[in-house]
Amino acid sequence: MISIYRSNYDSSLNHFHGKEYVKRDEVKLVTRNIMSEEYTHAEPSQAGRWAFGGTILFTSNGIFPEFNKPIKLHDRNMDLET
């Protein structure tokens, strides 16, 4: 399990709204090159238009070393944004 960290704000627009953790197969890592710098974030495994919604993923469990540092979770569903 990978822990979800967020402030007191937990929007219903976030895909993982109300959850305290995610399973590894529920998220995928995406790496992009932005202004000549590598940027890696996580987003839900299912297809969608996702944006950063203020949520961070992290685990100290060595099973998922890619999450041993804080990773921004882009789980804000932009299709629900008005």
Domains of the chain, residue spans: 2-77
> What is the per-residue pLDDT for 3?
92
> What is the per-residue pLDDT for 68?
92
> What is the per-residue pLDDT for 52?
93
Question: Which residues in the chain come in under a pLDDT of 70?
Answer: 7, 82
Tell me the HSE value of 20 on the side-chain side, using a 13 A CA sphere. Answer: 0
> What is the per-residue pLDDT for 38?
94
* Residue pointed to by tokens 């993982």: 16
Angstrom distance (rounded) from CA 54 to CA 81: 15
> What is the per-residue pLDDT for 73?
95
| E strand spans, the chain | 2-5, 21-22, 27-34, 37-44, 50-51, 55-58, 71-73, 76-77
